Structure 1
Amino acid sequence: MTTISIRNNPERSRFEVLDGDTVIGRAAYVDDENSRRIFYHTVIDKEHGGQGLAGRLAARALDETVAAGLVIVPVCPYIRSYLGRHSQYAANIKTPTPAILEFLDSALAARARR
């Protein structure tokens, strides 16, 4: 492992874990018009698992989301689980509703068509 860093890549709508210049993990999101950031998928490449990188990624993504004044919508099971263990984010969470899930589905379908 070389230098591990975490960054937000808004052009790709995801936070990324990098090993040097190589993306080895990501927390994907969609922002909506109501100042909500919907996290829908988090993954760390298998060969980098077990090093606590997913937790570091979640913490950075959630801290930056709150700092930006956005509400966290945890659709992703990992983010939802992380939030259950870290109560400092409780005031910034919105439970996914059918309307939010419909918006997410539409947004992801639109991305797929690009």
Structure 2
Amino acid sequence: MIDATIVHNVHRERFEVLVDGRVIGKAAYKTYDEGGSPQRIFYHTVINEEYGGQGLAGRLAEVALNETVSEGLRIVPVCPFIKTFLTKHPEYEADTTAPTPAHLEYLSAALVPAARA
């Protein structure tokens, strides 16, 4: 198994998989604090192709979701990988909120400036 480290890059709003100090994967999110309960909307998870099939995405998801829960935030799964991971891990069900149109509108507006940068 590859020697990878998973870190939370708060400033970039993502959890990263590092190999030899290089980012080879990430689980990106946006923090959503509308409606009274802070939430983390996960919208994109990716592992570089050459590192695929080694279980890194699952490890990344587990670390990201565990830290989200421990911080008292709700999980909002928009990313297909995170959605699928959650169906296989019912222990996160009590900490998960289904995406609503408000979540998707917020996410869309939040990502527009990032796409231009």
Q: TM-score range by the shorter chain?
A: over 0.9
RMSD of aligned C-alpha atoms? 1.3
Q: State which of 61, 83, 87 in structure 2 corresponds to 1:84.
A: 87
Alignment partners' CA distance in 2, 1:3 and 1:108 = 32
Give yes or no for the alignment of 1:31 onto 2:34: no
Using the TM superposition, give the Cα deviation of residue 110 of structure 1 relative to its aligned residue in structure 2, in angstroms.
Answer: 2.6
Give yes or no for the alignment of 1:49 onto 2:52: yes
Aligned partner of 1:51: which letter?
Q
Give yes or no for the alignment of 1:112 onto 2:115: yes
3-state SS in 2 of match to 1:83: helix
Using the TM superposition, give the Cα deviation of residue 2 of structure 1 relative to its aligned residue in structure 2, in angstroms.
Answer: 6.1
Aligned partner of 2:48: which letter?
D
Using the TM superposition, give the Cα deviation of residue 16 of structure 1 relative to its aligned residue in structure 2, in angstroms.
Answer: 0.3
Q: Deviations over 1:46-83 (max 9, x none)?
A: 00000000000000000000000000000000000000
3-state SS in 2 of match to 1:29: strand
Name the % identity: 55
Match of 2:10 in 1: 10
Segments of 4+ moved more than 4 angstroms: none
Which blocks of at least 5 consecutive residues in structure 2 are unaligned?
Answer: none
Using the TM superposition, give the Cα deviation of residue 26 of structure 1 relative to its aligned residue in structure 2, in angstroms.
Answer: 0.3
Alignment partners' CA distance in 1, 2:67 and 2:107 = 20
User: Structure 2 length normalisation: TM-score?
Assistant: 0.93
Change over 3 Å in CA distance of 1:95–1:2 after alignment to 2: closer
Aligned partner of 1:9: which letter?
N
Match of 1:59 in 2: 62
